[in-house]
């Protein structure tokens, strides 16, 4: 891919993603997107959301514990 297309993608990808997500949130909040609202408020997402929130809270503790038990330093490369 040409360099200018990579630059355009890098410049616009995150703002466009943020705009799309915020548009979904606003339309669901104002009750204008009934299909997206029914998909996002489906009862099957509740257990998954509770698990991911729990992992969000526990994750840093596990990372600190793992890093504190190392005897040799970890060197990161592009592969890992």
| Domain limits, the chain | 3-68
Identify the pLDDT of residue 79.
Answer: 83
C-alpha distances (whole Å) from 75 to each of 62, 79, 80 are 19, 11, 9
Mean pLDDT (10-residue bins), the chain, 80 residues = 93 97 93 89 92 95 92 83
Identify the pLDDT of residue 40.
Answer: 86
Which tokens hold the place of 52?
Answer: 């991911």
Identify the pLDDT of residue 18.
Answer: 98
């Amino acid at each position: 891919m040409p360099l200018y297309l990579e630059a355009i993608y890098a410049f616009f990808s995150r703002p466009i993603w943020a705009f799309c997500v915020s548009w979904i949130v606003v339309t669901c909040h104002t009750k204008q997107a009934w299909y997206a609202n029914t998909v996002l408020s489906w009862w099957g997402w509740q257990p998954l959301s509770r698990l991911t929130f729990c992992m969000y809270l526990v994750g840093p503790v596990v990372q600190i514990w793992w890093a504190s038990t190392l005897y040799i330093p970890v060197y990161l490369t592009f592969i890992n």
